[in-house]
Amino acid sequence: MAPIWGAGVVFAIATCWLYWLSTNPPNSDLVSIASGETKPDPTMNGTPLPNRTEMSFPTNLEELTSLAAILQHYQAAHGGYVLLLFCSAYLYKQTFAIPGSVFLNILAGALFGMWLSLPLVCLLSAIGATFCYLISYNFGYSYVQQCFPDKIKILQQKIHENSDSLFFFLLFVRLFPMTPNWFLNLASPVLDVPVLQFFLSVLIGLLPYNLICIQTGCILSQIKSIDSIFNTWTLCKLGAAAVAMLLPGVIVKKYRHKLEKIKLS
């Protein structure tokens, strides 16, 4: 295993790239708008452009709406740059297990629409989570074990119990609304989860969650609170989808045990 400071080097390089990209657009329009020096249009899709908006990760609905307005304005002339900036920011968050992916999912819907956003966000989620997996495997393997011994032990037992249908179990934990995805990304290499199964489980398992966020982004101007997105009914639907993912695994496990009994007899 490589020394832990190697993860710090990767983080520093990624941070420098994202900072350079966000402060060096193709021309000065975005920087001027972000600093409040210019304001080309009084509104963007009915949303007033703010006098001053920092180019940073949004942490609330107001910041998200302001950032979406700026990027939508800039997207008309520099769509490729906006796409690159969004992809870089999304991978940065996922790779280093930084909370707040819900805001970027909603932003994707506001910027790119439903049909581009859904495959884009699902793919970025899977790639970013896999980067996190690889960083944990190469730099933090023993540290994850030391920091989360009880959680690792519980998950290890569950994975052992579902080894015959591991992929369906991984889908279940991704779909279940209360699962801490950041911890799964860090712990999976410690639990010997194959990287391909890990990638596919994130790609498919987070699809319903991503879809809900993207649909919200498509009507961003109508949203009053982030909490309203994940109401009781939405969480129940995600929970039901998670349980449904367990059923194929239970069936596979049941019939595999029957076949083993037949062979032994």
pLDDT digits (tens, 9 = 90+) for 18-56: 999 988 877 644 444 444 444 444 444 444 444 434 578
* Closest-CA residue to 169 (of 253, 53, 49): 253
Cβ proximity of 65 and 220 under 8 Å? yes
Phi, psi of 53 (to 5 degrees): -135, 120
Percent of the chain, pLDDT > 90? 32
Sign, CA torsion 39/24/64/233 = positive
**50, 163, 241, 248 from 167: Cα distances, Å:** 46, 9, 15, 10
Report which of residues 223 and 254 the model is more confident about.
223
Check residue 66 and give its pLDDT.
87
Indicate the pLDDT class of residue 237, thresholds 50, 70 and 90: low
pLDDT in tens, 176-201: 767 788 999 999 999 999 999 999 99
Q: Is the pLDDT of residue 67 over 70?
A: yes
* Closest-CA residue to 201 (of 230, 178, 177, 181): 181
- Measured CA to CA, the distance from residue 175 to residue 238 in angstroms comes to 6
What mean pLDDT, rounded, does the chain reach? 78
Scanning the chain, the segments in alpha helix (DSSP H) are 5-23, 29-35, 61-75, 79-95, 101-139, 141-147, 149-161, 166-175, 181-187, 195-205, 207-218, 232-264
**Burial grade of 219 (CB within 10 A; 0-12, 13-18, 19 or more):** exposed
Scanning 140-189, the segments in alpha helix (DSSP H) are 141-147, 149-161, 166-175, 181-187
Q: Which residues contact 155 (CB under 8 A, 6 or more apart)?
A: 187, 191
List the chain domain ranges. 5-264
Check residue 134 and give its pLDDT.
95
**79, 113, 152, 226 from 125: Cα distances, Å:** 21, 17, 23, 20
pLDDT in tens, 76-87: 888 999 999 999
What average pLDDT does this structure show over 104-117?
Answer: 91
**Burial grade of 226 (CB within 10 A; 0-12, 13-18, 19 or more):** middle
Task: Identify which of 68-72, 108-112, 206-210, 240-244 has the greatest average pLDDT.
Answer: 108-112
Indicate the pLDDT class of residue 58, thresholds 50, 70 and 90: confident
Among 4-18, 101-115, 165-179, the least confident range: 165-179
Check residue 13 and give its pLDDT.
96
Check residue 229 and give its pLDDT.
59
- Measured CA to CA, the distance from residue 109 to residue 256 in angstroms comes to 43
Report which of residues 263 and 254 the model is more confident about.
254
- Measured CA to CA, the distance from residue 150 to residue 202 in angstroms comes to 23
